Structure 1
Amino acid sequence: MKSPLLSLPGAVPAEGVDEGVAAHYGDLFREQRALAGGAGFVDLSHRGIVAVSGADRLSWLHLLLTQHVADLPAGEATEALVLSANGHIEHALYLVDDGTTVWAHVEPGTEGALIAYLESMRFFYRVEVEDRTDDFAVIHLPAGSIAEAPEGVAVRETPYGRDLFLPRAELEAYAERYGPAAGLLAYEALRVEQHRPRLGFETDHRTIPHELGLIGSAVHLQKGCYRGQETVARVQNLGKPPRRLVFLHLDGSEVHLPAAGTELRLAADGDDGRKIGFITTAVRHHELGPVALALVKRNVPVDAPLLAGDTAAAQEIVVEP
């Protein structure tokens, strides 16, 4: 779905899964600095929006999601996962309840599969699941923004900023209120700095929550049964997830960033060393320079210099081994 905000001056379209919104508006680092300072907004209108209403919405979702939402207060933001039977991450939901409806935004293109799963689990519960992507869109206001949310709009307020579920038909009008616009590249650079994993970027078909440090933020350990809970409990008790998320400082002399999927090796072993991980997201940060998130094997020494292809990389711990 192409955003009307691509008509803003300087807008350069994003590609891949983020197609439909702007990658940037002509000045990546200026846009990053504005967001870091609490100014402007990010167009996230390409993300899917799922709404769950009905008297049983919270108790029903509590049975299906990894997060404790049975008593979620109205207006309190949280995030949750849907896991496979083997405990692998299938969906990530960023949600808030407005008192009558749970609003969640999800990765672009995943809302159909998520809704199909939720519908299959409705049974006798008094709930209604709807795809509201055509009617509503997400705008992100950074932490520190003094902009006010329109009355009656669902808002997810987190330490990283506020996500507003706005009527899609009014996006352009709201953009004039919240400018200047910042693109996805600026938003992603701050996400990487904040060590926040993203579904489809830091995850693959076998990712489990412990590898990404999602216990607590998206997975509650003191709640009832949900699909995949056995794996979560086993890894929690044994303390041995096979991989761990790391933050990497990349050699700034390289012209090109390593692509997602670039193999990581121990620098001491050189190009002939065995693969010990891979890049998930690499970005250019306005202060830190080139940085990345990556998944490495759990037993990789935390102080070991790495090679991302031909690019030297130094680790910072995100998930303890």
Structure 2
Amino acid sequence: MIPSPLLNRPGAVEGGGPDTGVAAHYGDPFREQRFLADGQAVVDLSHRGVVTVSGPDRLSWLNTLSSQLLLGLQPGQSSETLLLTVQGRIEHSVHVVDDGAVAWLITEGSEAAPLAAWLERMKFMLRVEVTDATDAWAVLGATRALPELGDDVLVWDDPWPSTGSGGYAYSTVDDAGHPGRERPWFEYLVPRDGLEAAVTSSGLALAGSLAAEALRIAAWRPRHGFETDEKTIPHELDLLRTAVHLAKGCYKGQETIARVHNLGHPPRRLTFLHLDGSQHTLPAVGSAVLSEGRTVGRVTSVGHHYEMGPIALAVLKRSADASADLLVQDGEEMYAAGQEVIVAPDAGQVVGRATGFLKGPR
């Protein structure tokens, strides 16, 4: 982890956990959040990882390894893809943008080295070169295009929440009514030694990671390492809409993707929580979510939105009552929580379960 030089700015308070190394805020989190939402601020994401893949076979190679159709990705075009286990569980989540010669992969900071090492092992005889470029490149986030940074700055344009070609939406609202529409998102790749100059060139204020996280949660946008764990499959987080192509060729984990989508239901579902704002604290990530005294899931992300107040994302069991009021338990503290369903309990089973097969002996 490389501490950001922007931590030297007045009022900067460093974040913790996965957001260590950048500022959580610069003294006024709600003002920063309003500015970021209105396109008047940028957020330092220099703790993110950057991996590059060059060579003539890069896109066809990445296409065979991951969940998204990357063949024909045009220079400057953005995509999102997942690397899955054989069981279809999410191993790496990657933001992809190609410049015509190099595919740039943006990940969580802790994921860059493992991702680069995994890709290196999968090269075989193909004409590709993999580099962990985190030491040389940094990321800035914004809710609008920033022509002030120059025409040659590469930018990843988040496809969320549009349902892409070959994708499928599991949420209870259509694309037009999705709250993610209120949060366009762009991630700019800038030389690490030019990070401060890029912020100055933008002419915008600085917002901290708390502001970015609150807007992400309100947009129902999953984040790797927060909404995911070692068992997560894409269906549970509504990631089939942007990160999976259901009609592409074979890749590791495809069987699970197809089986759950066509014949089954995801065992868990992403949910948005409106938390009781009468308390002066927020529950910790990982806190238990209770329904009628029974644990039905856990809080995965939590924030304080400048308009909605305390909000959270949680991953719940599919069997949890979608209409029930919930409680979040953090040690001795209890927080009332109203749920807004994201992934429907009956999502999946698009084709329907096969019938007529003989059952074997128990």
For residue 189 of structure 2, the aligned residue among 147, 165, 174 is 165
Q: Match of 2:311, as an amino acid?
A: V
Deviation at 1:120, TM superposition (A): 1.1
DSSP 3-state at the match of 2:320: coil
Q: Which residue of 2 aligns with 1:258?
A: 283
Which digits, 9 at most, give the CA deviation of each residue in 1:265-291, with x for residues without a partner? 11xx2xxx2211110011000000000
Which digits, 9 at most, give the CA deviation of each residue in 1:208-240, with x for residues without a partner? 100000003001101111111111111011231
Do the aligned partners of 1:149 and 1:155 also contact (CA within 8 Å) in 2? Answer: no
CA distance in 2, matches of 1:254, 1:16: 23
Q: Which residue of 2 aligns with 1:82?
A: 83
Do the aligned partners of 1:103 and 1:154 also contact (CA within 8 Å) in 2? Answer: no
Q: Which residue of 2 aligns with 1:278?
A: 298
Which digits, 9 at most, give the CA deviation of each residue in 1:162-188, with x for residues without a partner? 211101111111111223100000000
Residue 45 in 1 paired to residue 46 in 2?
Answer: yes
Q: Which residue of 2 aligns with 1:154?
A: 154
Q: Which residue of 2 aligns with 1:294?
A: 314
Residue 138 in 1 paired to residue 163 in 2?
Answer: no
DSSP 3-state at the match of 2:251: coil
CA distance in 2, matches of 1:279, 1:220: 28
Do the aligned partners of 2:7 and 2:23 also contact (CA within 8 Å) in 1? Answer: yes
Q: Which residue of 1 aligns with 2:218?
A: 193
CA distance in 1, matches of 2:147, 2:341: 34
CA distance in 2, matches of 1:6, 1:118: 32
Deviation at 1:300, TM superposition (A): 1.6
DSSP 3-state at the match of 1:210: helix
Deviation at 1:254, TM superposition (A): 1.5
Task: List runs of 5+ in structure 2 lacking aligned partners.
Answer: 160-183, 346-362
Which digits, 9 at most, give the CA deviation of each residue in 1:151-204, with x for residues without a partner? 322111236222111011111111112231000000000000000011110011
CA distance in 2, matches of 1:175, 1:146: 11
DSSP 3-state at the match of 1:201: coil
Residue 243 in 1 paired to residue 268 in 2?
Answer: yes
Deviation at 1:73, TM superposition (A): 1.6
CA distance in 2, matches of 1:128, 1:22: 33
CA distance in 1, matches of 2:148, 2:127: 34
DSSP 3-state at the match of 2:337: strand
Structure 2 counterparts to residues 1-321 of structure 1, below 5 A: 1-143=2-144, 145-158=145-158, 160-178=184-202, 179-266=204-291, 269=292, 273-309=293-329, 310-321=334-345
Do the aligned partners of 1:46 and 1:137 also contact (CA within 8 Å) in 2? Answer: yes
DSSP 3-state at the match of 1:319: coil
Q: TM-score, normalised by structure 1?
A: 0.96
Deviation at 1:146, TM superposition (A): 5.0
Do the aligned partners of 2:148 and 2:201 also contact (CA within 8 Å) in 1? Answer: no
Which digits, 9 at most, give the CA deviation of each residue in 1:3-39, with x for residues without a partner? 0111111111111111111000000100110011111
Q: Match of 1:84, as an amino acid?
A: T
Deviation at 1:147, TM superposition (A): 4.3
CA distance in 2, matches of 1:153, 1:135: 14
DSSP 3-state at the match of 1:138: strand
Aligned length: 315
DSSP 3-state at the match of 2:109: coil
Do the aligned partners of 1:66 and 1:226 also contact (CA within 8 Å) in 2? Answer: yes
Deviation at 1:302, TM superposition (A): 1.6
Task: List runs of 5+ in structure 1 lacking aligned partners.
Answer: none
CA distance in 2, matches of 1:298, 1:148: 46
Q: Match of 2:28, as an amino acid?
A: D
Which digits, 9 at most, give the CA deviation of each residue in 1:21-65, with x for residues without a partner? 100000010011001111110100011100011001100000001
Which region of structure 1 is more displaced relative to structure 2, 149-158 or 212-221?
149-158
Q: TM-score, normalised by structure 2?
A: 0.85
